[in-house]
Chain A
Amino acid sequence: MRTLILLTAAATLAAQPQAAPRAPLPPIKSLKYPPLKAVKIPEVTQFTLANGMRVFLLENRNLPVVSGFALIRTGNLFDPKDKIGLADMTGDVMRMGGTKSKTGEQLNEQLENIAASVESSIGESFGRVGFNALKENTDEVLGAFKDVLTAPEFREDKVELARTQNKSGIARRNDDAGGIARREFSDIVYGKDSPYGWDVEYETLDRITRNDLVAFHKRYFFPKNTLLAVQGDFDIPAMRAKLETLFADWTVEQPPVPEFPKVDEKPRPGLYVAAKNDVNQSNFRLGHFGGKLNDKDYPALEVMSSILAGSPFSSRIGQAIRVRGYAYDIGGDWGAAYDHPGLFVIGGGTKSDNTFKAIRTVQQELEKFMSAPPTAAELQSAKDKILNTFVFQFDSPAKTLSRLVTYEYYGYPKDFIFQYQKAVEAVTPAEVQRVAKQYIKPENLTYVVVGKPADFGEPLTALNLPVTNIDLTIKQPKAVTAKADAASLAKGKALLDKTRGAMGGAKLTGLKDMTLLMDVKIDAGGGQLAAKQKIQWVAPATMRQENELPFGKILSFYDGKGGWIKTPQGEAALSGPMLRQVEEQAFYNLYSLVASGGASANYLGDGTVEIGNGADLVAKLTVDEATGMPQKLVYRATAGPPIEVEQRYLEFKDVDGVKVASRSETYQGGKKFADSALIEGKVNSGLNAEELSKKP
Chain B
Amino acid sequence: MRNLLALTVLLAPLCAGLQAQDLKAFEKRVTEFTLANGLHFIVLEKHDAPVVSFYTRVNAGSVDDQTGKTGIAHMFEHMAFKGTESIGSKNLALERKALANIERVYDQLEQARRQPKPDKAKIEELEKSLKDAIASADAHVESESFTRIMEDSGAAGLNASTGVDSTQYFVSFPANKLELWFRLEADRFRYPVFREFYKERDVVREEKRMRSESNPQGELIDAMLAASFQGHPYRTSPAGFASDIENYRVADAEAFRKKYYVPSNMVIAIAGDVDPKEVRALADRYFAPMPAAPVPAPVVTVEPKQNGERRVTIESQAQPMLLIGYKRPEATHKDDTVFDVLDGILAGGRTGMLYKELVEKRKIALAAATGSGFPGVKYPNLYIFFALPNAGKTVDEVEKAMYEIIEGVKAKPVDETTLKRVKTTVRAGLIRQLDSNAGMAQNMATFHAMFGDWRKLFESVEEIDKVTAADVQRVAKEYFVDKTKTVAYHVKPKAEAN
A residues neighboring B (CB under 8 Å): 20, 22-23, 25-28, 31, 33-40, 62-65, 104-105, 108-109, 112-115, 117, 132, 134, 160-161, 164-165, 167-172, 175-178, 278-281, 311-314, 318-319, 322-329, 349-351, 380-381, 384-385, 388-389, 391-392, 394-396, 522, 525, 547, 549, 551, 554, 565, 567-569, 578, 640-643, 669
Provide a sorted-by-A list of 15 A–B residue pairs whose CB atoms are within 8 angstroms: A31-B180, A34-B176, A36-B174, A64-B431, A117-B349, A175-B216, A177-B214, A178-B210, A281-B209, A311-B151, A328-B207, A388-B153, A388-B154, A389-B155, A669-B392
Number of A-B contacts (CB under 8 A): 236
Q: Is the CB of B431 within 8 A of A391?
A: no
CB-CB nearest in chain B for A134: B428
Which stretch of B45-53, B224-232, B258-266, B448-456 is in the interface? B45-53
In the complex, which residues of chain A have a beta carbon less than 8 angstroms from the beta carbon of B1? Answer: 312-313
Q: Is the CB of B203 within 8 A of A325?
A: yes
In the complex, which residues of chain B have a beta carbon less than 8 angstroms from the beta carbon of A176? Answer: 215
The one of A33, A108, A281 that contacts B206, using a Cβ cutoff of 8 Å: A281
The one of A37, A175, A324, A565 that contacts B175, using a Cβ cutoff of 8 Å: A37
The one of B202, B351, B421, B429 that contacts A325, using a Cβ cutoff of 8 Å: B202
CB-CB nearest in chain A for B494: A551
In the complex, which residues of chain A have a beta carbon less than 8 angstroms from the beta carbon of B136? Answer: none
Q: Is the CB of B425 within 8 A of A112?
A: yes
In the complex, which residues of chain B have a beta carbon less than 8 angstroms from the beta carbon of A23? Answer: 289
Q: Is the CB of A311 within 8 A of B49?
A: no
Contact A388:B152 (CB < 8 A) given known A115-B425, A313-B144: yes
In the complex, which residues of chain B have a beta carbon less than 8 angstroms from the beta carbon of A168? Answer: 319, 366, 388, 390-391
Q: Is the CB of A396 within 8 A of B151?
A: no
Q: Is the CB of B153 within 8 A of A164?
A: no
The one of B50, B152, B175, B435 that contacts A385, using a Cβ cutoff of 8 Å: B152
The one of B204, B349, B431 that contacts A112, using a Cβ cutoff of 8 Å: B349
CB-CB nearest in chain B for A387: B154
In the complex, which residues of chain B have a beta carbon less than 8 angstroms from the beta carbon of A64? Answer: 431
Q: Is the CB of B203 within 8 A of A327?
A: yes
Q: Is the CB of B495 within 8 A of A165?
A: no
CB-CB nearest in chain B for A22: B191
In the complex, which residues of chain B have a beta carbon less than 8 angstroms from the beta carbon of A643? Answer: 392
In the complex, which residues of chain B have a beta carbon less than 8 angstroms from the beta carbon of A327? Answer: 203, 206
Q: Is the CB of A391 within 8 A of B154?
A: yes
In the complex, which residues of chain A have a beta carbon less than 8 angstroms from the beta carbon of B316? Answer: 278
Q: Which has the most chain A C-beta neighbours within 10 Å: B184, B201, B214?
A: B214
The complex places the Cα of A177 from the Cα of B218 at a distance, in Å, of 13
In the complex, which residues of chain B have a beta carbon less than 8 angstroms from the beta carbon of A329? Answer: 206-207, 210
In the complex, which residues of chain A have a beta carbon less than 8 angstroms from the beta carbon of B204? Answer: 328
The one of A164, A385, A525 that contacts B151, using a Cβ cutoff of 8 Å: A385
Q: Is the CB of B351 within 8 A of A108?
A: yes
CB-CB nearest in chain B for A640: B492
Q: Is the CB of A396 within 8 A of B363?
A: no
Q: Is the CB of A39 within 8 A of B49?
A: yes
Is the C-beta of B412 less than 8 angstroms from some C-beta in chain A?
Answer: no
In the complex, which residues of chain A have a beta carbon less than 8 angstroms from the beta carbon of B156? Answer: 389, 392
Q: Is the CB of A161 within 8 A of B152?
A: no
In the complex, which residues of chain B have a beta carbon less than 8 angstroms from the beta carbon of A172? Answer: 318-319, 366, 388, 391
The complex places the Cα of A177 from the Cα of B179 at a distance, in Å, of 42
Near A by CB (< 8 A), chain B positions 146-182 give: 147-149, 151-156, 172, 174-177, 179-180
Contact A349:B209 (CB < 8 A) given known A113-B421, A328-B203, A568-B495: yes
Q: Is the CB of B151 within 8 A of A33?
A: no
Contact A396:B392 (CB < 8 A) given known A112-B349, A324-B199, A327-B203: no
In the complex, which residues of chain A have a beta carbon less than 8 angstroms from the beta carbon of B174? Answer: 36, 388-389, 391
The complex places the Cα of A105 from the Cα of B172 at a distance, in Å, of 40
Q: Is the CB of B351 within 8 A of A112?
A: yes
In the complex, which residues of chain A have a beta carbon less than 8 angstroms from the beta carbon of B420? Answer: 113
The one of B143, B177, B360 that contacts A33, using a Cβ cutoff of 8 Å: B177
Known: A161-B359, A178-B210. 6 other contacts (CB 8 A): A112-B350, A313-B144, A314-B147, A381-B151, A388-B152, A565-B495
A-B CB proximity, top 9 nearest: A325-B202, A388-B154, A567-B495, A115-B428, A171-B391, A279-B214, A175-B318, A641-B391, A168-B366
In the complex, which residues of chain B have a beta carbon less than 8 angstroms from the beta carbon of A640? Answer: 492
In the complex, which residues of chain B have a beta carbon less than 8 angstroms from the beta carbon of A114? Answer: 424
CB-CB nearest in chain A for B433: A63
In the complex, which residues of chain B have a beta carbon less than 8 angstroms from the beta carbon of A525? Answer: 396
In the complex, which residues of chain B have a beta carbon less than 8 angstroms from the beta carbon of A551? Answer: 494
Contact A108:B318 (CB < 8 A) given known A314-B148, A394-B49, A643-B392: no
In the complex, which residues of chain A have a beta carbon less than 8 angstroms from the beta carbon of B390? Answer: 164-165, 167-168
The complex places the Cα of A395 from the Cα of B432 at a distance, in Å, of 16
Is the C-beta of B427 less than 8 angstroms from some C-beta in chain A?
Answer: yes
The complex places the Cα of A65 from the Cα of B286 at a distance, in Å, of 39
Near A by CB (< 8 A), chain B positions 342-385 give: 348-351, 356, 359-360, 363, 366
Is the C-beta of B86 less than 8 angstroms from some C-beta in chain A?
Answer: yes
The complex places the Cα of A33 from the Cα of B49 at a distance, in Å, of 17
CB-CB nearest in chain B for A381: B152
The complex places the Cα of A573 from the Cα of B199 at a distance, in Å, of 38
In the complex, which residues of chain B have a beta carbon less than 8 angstroms from the beta carbon of A65? Answer: 431-432
Is the C-beta of B303 less than 8 angstroms from some C-beta in chain A?
Answer: no
Q: Is the CB of B493 within 8 A of A323?
A: no
The complex places the Cα of A435 from the Cα of B136 at a distance, in Å, of 36
Q: Which has the most chain A C-beta neighbours within 10 Å: B425, B432, B495, B496?
A: B495
Query: What per-residue 1/0 map shows which CB atoms of B64-108 lie under 8 Å from chain A?
Result: 000000000000000001000011000000000000000000000
The complex places the Cα of A388 from the Cα of B184 at a distance, in Å, of 17
Query: What per-residue 1/0 map shows which CB atoms of B317-354 lie under 8 Å from chain A?
Result: 11100000000000000000000000000001111000
In the complex, which residues of chain A have a beta carbon less than 8 angstroms from the beta carbon of B393? Answer: 641
In the complex, which residues of chain A have a beta carbon less than 8 angstroms from the beta carbon of B434? Answer: 63
